[in-house]
Homo-oligomer: A and B are copies of this chain.
Amino acid sequence: MIDKTVTDVAQAVAGIADGSTVMIGGFGRAGQPVELIDALIEQGAGDLTIVSNNAGNGDTGLAALLAKGRVRRIICSFPRQHDSWVFDGLYRAGEIELELVPQGNLAERIRAAGAGIGGFFSPTGVGTQLAEGKEERTIDGRRYALEYPVRADYALISAHRGDRWGNLVYRETARNFGPIMAAAAGTTVAQVDELVELGALDPEAVVTPGIFTNRVVAVGPRSWVRDGGFVGGVDIDGNPLSGSGASR
């Protein structure tokens, strides 16, 4: 029997070695594998290259990983946020390398890694600083720059439901980078709100087929979803509306 489920987040991130490249899903709070990031911090791997749309915010999650000096290099599209002080400080101090990539090129480069494409000509960024030094070519009258795949040793992603074969479905715009990162990493670790029986996911609606997933760990429902239905009652970060903001 194939069973990719693991019982806790520590097992889910076991084996990530110093020097690894790790993709981290999510765009804003949506699709951020917060429990897996915490487990990675706990696990202790350092000298990491992180591939993620953002570079952390506040003092938790990816920002906490950065603050502990575990990240040597980050490949992302939008590191600067109003509360990205941890990254900002490291960057200004020259203590972290940044490869800034337009968001769609980042997505397509990740997709290329998963799909076995050696490189592709993208029109995005051509003629700008971010394409300086890249091979350029005009094809059918449009200018393109050559972009290479971005792959990783591990991908940490967050999905809504998963089964023991690693089939995954997402929820709304939390899908974002999950499906493409899952295909681009040697080992893909998915946290899911809920594990379901094999066959419970509609094969027409599976977004990430299990072939891309290596480990699945259930982390329990999101606080704004109950019994599969949206109940709200939180702010955009998922904190309870009436609460003190003490939750993560």
Stretch from A40-48, A135-143, A178-186 forming part of the interface with B: A135-143
Can you spell out 17 A-B residue pairs with CB atoms less than 8 angstroms apart? A108-B115, A108-B117, A112-B120, A116-B122, A117-B121, A117-B122, A118-B123, A119-B121, A119-B139, A119-B144, A120-B120, A120-B121, A139-B148, A169-B204, A170-B204, A202-B205, A204-B205
A residues 84-123 touching B (CB-CB < 8 Å): 108, 112, 115-123
Please state if A117 and B120 are interface contacts (CB–CB under 8 Å).
yes
Please state if B118 and A119 are interface contacts (CB–CB under 8 Å).
no
Task: Count identical subunits in the complex.
Answer: 2
Which residues of chain B are within 8 angstroms of A137 by Cβ–Cβ distance?
118-119
A215 to B33, CA, bound (A): 40
Which residues of chain B are within 8 angstroms of A120 by Cβ–Cβ distance?
112, 117-121
Which residues of chain B are within 8 angstroms of A204 by Cβ–Cβ distance?
169-172, 205, 207
A169 to B121, CA, bound (A): 30
A residues 175-224 touching B (CB-CB < 8 Å): 202, 204-205, 207
Chain B residue at smallest Cβ distance from A126: B118
Which residues of chain B are within 8 angstroms of A118 by Cβ–Cβ distance?
120-123, 137, 139-140, 142, 144
Chain B residue at smallest Cβ distance from A170: B204
A 36-55 to B, binary, CB cutoff 8 A, 1 in contact else 0: 00000000000000000000
A17 to B229, CA, bound (A): 50
